């Protein structure tokens, strides 16, 4: 019998799609939801399932940003054949995304026992939500928000890419929260910071989903719940991406900061009263 049924897969797909790209921690929300549905959070098959349905969210990014991705790929292709074409920002940016992904790959391989062990606790999720909120709050006040996407540099890409490690090690910190905050501190405007976060998510989350697939399928999750969760994640994530890009064009991230703090406190309370198991 599958450790996750179709109904649970639909719920988890919705949660994944809604929270993957919002700076509120999809991992934290998934763990909370799994706990409330009495799904064994620590089961490797469940961990694998949550990583695999992220591929649905990544597919949404690929579809939503298809024109940009094609543009970057074309620039990369022209750069391979022409020294002059290698001076274009699109060509450089394509390589920067690759280079900026390397740190999180190394960290993922080195710290796998911790990531799936002690750091997977909901106590860590709650604390990370609150600490990550402090970084987001500071980023909104320190960042000058005066640089657009065309002004992104190699240093920006690497620093933002490295910040993904915070979310990898401390579930609840939020990958998008860490990357967007770092980009804001680097003075990128909110739209440029958010788009950079999206582009960096493609190789990082796709790699994680492929890596965890063996645990999800081999560990007790049937293919049908996996497919359903992934498809639901794709649909909801696509709508979430469209909404977020419109939102950040006119609003700050302060509302997310407040939400994260409240959620962190609520999780501490649920853990302390025994409603949720850590």
- The answer to whether the pTM exceeds 0.85 is yes
What mean pLDDT is reported for the chain? 89
Nearest Cα residue to 171 out of 34, 4, 2: 34
For position 133, what pLDDT does the model report? 95
Q: Considering only residues 270 and 208, tell me which one the structure prediction assigns the higher pLDDT.
A: 270
Distances (CA, A) of 229 to 26, 60, 202, 254, 261: 14, 14, 18, 30, 28
Alpha-carbon gap, residue 196 to 194, rounded angstroms: 5
For position 100, what pLDDT does the model report? 96
Alpha-carbon gap, residue 216 to 226, rounded angstroms: 8
pLDDT at 116 over 80: no
Q: Tens digit of pLDDT for each residue in 193-243? A: 999 999 998 888 787 777 766 666 655 677 898 899 999 999 999 999 999
Q: What is the DSSP string of 121-147?
A: SHHHHHHHHHHHHHHHHHHHHH----B
Q: In what helix (H) or strand (E) does residue 172 lie, and over which residues does it extend? A: none
Contact 105, 208 (CB under 8 A): no
% pLDDT > 90, the chain: 62
Q: Show contacts of 224-227: CB within 8 Å, 24+ apart.
A: 224/2, 224/6, 225/2, 225/4, 225/5, 225/6, 225/8, 225/9, 225/49, 226/9, 226/49, 226/52, 226/53
Instruction: Band the pLDDT of 54: cuts 50, 70, 90.
Output: confident
For position 213, what pLDDT does the model report? 65
Instruction: Band the pLDDT of 102: cuts 50, 70, 90.
Output: very high
For position 4, what pLDDT does the model report? 86
Q: What is the mean pLDDT of residues 52-60?
A: 88
Joined together, the tokens standing for residue 154 give 């190699």
List, in sequence order, every residue forming a beta bridge with 147; answer none if it has no partner: 188
């Amino acid at each position: 019998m599958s450790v996750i049924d179709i109904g649970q897969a639909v719920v988890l797909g919705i949660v994944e799609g809604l929270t993957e790209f919002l700076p509120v921690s999809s991992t934290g929300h998934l763990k909370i939801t799994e706990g409330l549905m009495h799904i064994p959070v620590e089961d490797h098959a469940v961990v694998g399932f949550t990583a695999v349905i992220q591929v649905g969210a990544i597919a949404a990014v690929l579809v939503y940003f298809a024109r940009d991705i094609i543009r970057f790929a074309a620039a990369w292709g022209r750069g391979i054949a022409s020294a002059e074409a290698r001076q274009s920002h699109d060509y450089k940016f394509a390589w920067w995304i690759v280079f900026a992904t390397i740190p999180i790959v190394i960290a993922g391989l080195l710290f796998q026992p911790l990531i799936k062990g002690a750091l997977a606790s909901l106590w860590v999720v709650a604390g990370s939500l609150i600490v990550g909120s402090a970084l987001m709050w500071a980023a909104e006040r320190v960042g000058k928000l005066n640089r657009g996407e065309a002004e992104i540099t190699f240093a920006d890409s690497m620093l933002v890419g490295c910040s993904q490690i915070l979310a990898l090690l401390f579930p609840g910190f939020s990958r998008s929260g860490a990357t967007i905050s770092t980009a804001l501190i680097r003075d990128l405007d909110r739209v440029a910071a958010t788009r950079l976060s999206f582009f960096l998510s493609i190789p990082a989350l796709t790699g994680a989903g492929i890596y965890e697939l063996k645990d999800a399928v081999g560990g007790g999750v049937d293919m049908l719940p996996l497919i359903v969760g992934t498809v639901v994640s794709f649909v909801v994530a696509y709508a979430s991406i469209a909404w977020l890009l419109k939102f950040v064009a006119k609003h700050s991230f302060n509302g997310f900061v407040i939400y994260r703090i409240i959620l962190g406190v609520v999780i501490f309370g649920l853990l302390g009263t025994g409603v949720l198991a850590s």
